[in-house]
Structure 1
Amino acid sequence: MNSTFLYGANVHANGIRQHYLRYGGDNGARATRPAVVVIPGITSPAATWGFVGETFGRQFDTYVLDVRGRGLSEASATLDYSLDAQAADVIALAQTLGLERYALVGHSMGARIAIRAARHAPRGLVSTVLVDPPVSGPGRRAYPAKLPWYVDSIRLATRGTDAEGMRAFCPTWTEEQLRLRAQWLHTCDERAMRASFEGFHTDDIHADLPRLSVPSLLITAERGDVVLDADVREMQALAPALLHVRVRSAGHMIPWDNEAGFYEAFGDFLGAKLV
């Protein structure tokens, strides 16, 4: 099947350099549908989500973002890595790209960014998809992943490692997935990761949910304990229109574990089926 990848590019938006990968384009039937901005998680540069971008690009004009401090987007010792800054980045990116109608699809940290961005009801935002967002926060149970897992893997990648080095951290991943993580993980700034991990426990995304005014879909993993059934019920009580789909045979990294099930979970929510 032909690739839908178009190019990688940088823009200056919200005062920083933001890098993204574009798939699909805005021609044909895609021109009639909202664009899609994919926001990856805490240690997932855009390049590691390229296989998802390829699939989305068949139906949508798709932009996979390097969140600040990751991949080829700006990073520094003085950069603000807060959730508010990340949400402002996404809104500014869409405005700078001139996206008249767009959906946010965020995974993990990216889902929390999407929730915070949607709270501001930015012009052009028509829907959000929240993929297994950490539900930790003030007074809530901790995020199940531990900080040393991130620190140790980033430092190993920064020194230089291969797929075998990553296997200890991601034992169920394929050789291709491990190679890609070994190649790109060093571009995740440890300062950015630490700030985001701390934010998992200090930022209250539940307070944002009642202000989720666009149609929204929650996609969660059947395995793992990031989002439990009780968490889904609470989120839907706060945002009654929030739809929910669980993906079978998948842990937190849903498209890595069950790629077909991940795409099927969207149905036609975005305006066209992915598979």
Structure 2
Amino acid sequence: MARRALSVSLMFTLALAALGCAATALKSQAPGDGYDARLSRYEYPFAVQNYSLKSQDQDLQMSYMDISPPSAPREIVVLLHGKNFGGFYFKSMIAELVSRGYRVIAVDQVGFGKSSKPRAYQFTFQSLASNTRALLQSLGVQRFQLVGHSMGGMLAVRYALMHPHDVTQLVLINPIGLEDWKTMVPYKTVGELYQVELSQTVDKARDYQKQSYYDGAWSESYEELLQPLTGWLKNREYPLVAWNSALTSDMIFTQPVLYEFKNIAVPTTLVIGLRDRTAIGRDMASDDIKKKMGLYTKLGKAAQKLIPGSKLIEMEGVGHVPFIEAPEKFWKATEVLWPRQ
């Protein structure tokens, strides 16, 4: 046991050393270049507030937007973002929901967006769910609709499993985690994932999103989604962002939630853009396996069968981010979830 503890300690020390080396390699960049780790100079579409919390013996902050309609809200909708985003990309969705009379809270998880980027953190969906619940309780929010997109879908499922009485409705918009990638592709260590993140470029990110999110299509309007990354890459704090991204990639890969779909006990709707091809680790898969990964034409239906009493809304010709790619089609398809007053 002592030997194992020493090994873990050594791995952690080496990882932090690598983080420090990467930061030193970027020392030629001025601190003010681009965006710092918390995007302090990047403007979100609505006023941002910060919630201070103690998590894993660390003082952290979670940033969030809390927008209410002019009159008393019909209900509260909580939005959980995907891995390559923060709450900023919910701009149009927030505006539409508020116009329909809902109070909307969009949370940046620890490690993402404007929230803290800890150098050492045990990322689990349980931890993120607990952090989110603490934030909501600090606002006096007890019951709400929970909407998760992409990675946020995995987190929303975990939250609903942990705290079903909090959730009046669970909406999963093109959630990832509808298949277990670790049964399909080799495992990459956090160190390997970190090196991948350090080699990131805007062109690589654009190509990944083009192929995975939009099935080969691209629109200039999507460039706005790359702006935070563009700024991060120019800043000396990017290694810290990259480290958090590597840790959360490991969380997503190693902590599937699909085996617990059968235990979801809240009303659930899956909203699936059928042109989505998102699949973690596809670049490491054999050609035969690649063809079988990220097939949302099948994954949505399979998930619906596993989640008791769930409903499925499918959208033809739409990819991973339907509320941005095809907003008119998205709102028409989801009218039953959030009807106009």
Please state which band the TM-score falls in when normalised by the shorter chain. 0.7 to 0.9
Partner residue, 2:47: 7
Q: Is the 8 A contact 1:154 1:190 kept in 2?
A: no
Partner residue, 1:192: 244
Aligned partner of residue 47 in structure 2, secondary structure: strand
1:182 to 219, 223, 227: 227
How far does the alpha carbon of each residue in 1:128-184 deviate from its partner, in whole angstroms, 9 at most, with x for none?
A: 101111223276446xxxx98x94698436xxxxxx886545554443431342235
2:180 to 118, 130, 137: 137
Aligned-partner Cα distance in 2 for 1:154–1:54: 35
2:144 to 102, 115, 122: 102
1:21 to 51, 65, 69: 65
Partner residue, 1:216: 268
Correspondence 1:69 to 2:111? yes
Q: Is the 8 A contact 2:301 2:312 kept in 1?
A: no
Q: In the superposition, relative to structure 1, how do residues 81 and 212 fare at CA in structure 2: closer, same or farther (>3 Å)?
A: same
Q: Is the 8 A contact 2:169 2:267 kept in 1?
A: yes
Q: Is the 8 A contact 1:102 1:124 kept in 2?
A: yes
Aligned partner of residue 106 in structure 2, secondary structure: strand
Q: Is the 8 A contact 2:66 2:105 kept in 1?
A: yes
Aligned partner of residue 12 in structure 1, secondary structure: strand
Q: TM-score, normalised by structure 1?
A: 0.80
Aligned-partner Cα distance in 2 for 1:191–1:173: 28
Aligned partner of residue 148 in structure 2, secondary structure: strand
1:113 to 155, 178, 189: 155
Q: In the superposition, relative to structure 1, how do residues 230 and 222 fare at CA in structure 2: closer, same or farther (>3 Å)?
A: closer
Percentage of matched positions with identical amino acids: 19
Q: Letter of the 1:72 partner, please give it.
A: K
Partner residue, 1:243: 311
Correspondence 1:53 to 2:72? no
Q: Is the 8 A contact 2:179 2:299 kept in 1?
A: no
Q: In the superposition, relative to structure 1, how do residues 257 and 80 fare at CA in structure 2: closer, same or farther (>3 Å)?
A: same
Aligned-partner Cα distance in 2 for 1:14–1:241: 37
Aligned partner of residue 123 in structure 2, secondary structure: coil
- Gaps spanning 5+ residues in structure 2: where? 1-44, 186-191, 211-216, 233-237, 278-293
Q: Letter of the 2:49 partner, please give it.
A: A
Aligned-partner Cα distance in 2 for 1:273–1:14: 39
Q: Is the 8 A contact 1:37 1:103 kept in 2?
A: yes
Deviation at 1:51, TM superposition (A): 2.1
Aligned partner of residue 106 in structure 1, secondary structure: strand
Paired positions, count: 256
| More off after superposition, 185-194 vs 73-82 | 185-194
Aligned partner of residue 57 in structure 1, secondary structure: helix
Aligned partner of residue 134 in structure 2, secondary structure: helix
- Gaps spanning 5+ residues in structure 1: where? 158-163
Q: Letter of the 2:224 partner, please give it.
A: R
How far does the alpha carbon of each residue in 1:192-232 deviate from its partner, in whole angstroms, 9 at most, with x for none?
A: 32233233332131232122111111011111333534433
Aligned-partner Cα distance in 1 for 2:258–2:206: 34
Partner residue, 2:11: none
Q: Is the 8 A contact 1:132 1:227 kept in 2?
A: no
Deviation at 1:111, TM superposition (A): 0.3
State the Cα RMSD in Å: 3.1
1:259 to 324, 327, 334: 327
